[in-house]
Amino acid sequence: MGRITTSDARKKDTREKIELGGLIVKAGLRFEKRALLLGALIELQQRLAHDGAERARLIAIGLRR
């Protein structure tokens, strides 16, 4: 089995970021301010840490898209 090189790790990281950006576009949030998006994501992370039902509800919404 080959070693994962720094270049491979960078490519994987870049691909992940592209995919995550695609989620912003798919959600219809492309033109929102970055500070708003970051604030919303931080709040979401805090809510998910305390509410398993909210996590399940949001997953269900995402699966319908």
Q: How far is C-alpha 52 from the chain's CA centre?
A: 18
Question: Rounded to two decimals, what is the model's pTM?
Answer: 0.77
Q: How far apart are CA 5 and CA 8, in angstroms?
A: 5
**What is the number of other CB atoms lying within 10 angstroms of the CB of residue 29?**
13
Query: In this predicted structure, what is the pLDDT of residue 3?
Result: 76
Domain boundaries, the chain: 1-31, 32-65
Mean pLDDT of the chain: 93
Question: Does residue 58 contact residue 47 with C-beta atoms inside 8 Å?
Answer: no
Lookup: tokens for 48: 């998910």
Q: What is the pLDDT of residue 52?
A: 86
The predicted structure's pLDDT at residue 4: 75
Do 3 and 9 contact (CB within 8 A), yes or no? Answer: no
Asked whether residue 1 carries a pLDDT value surpassing 70, the answer given is: no
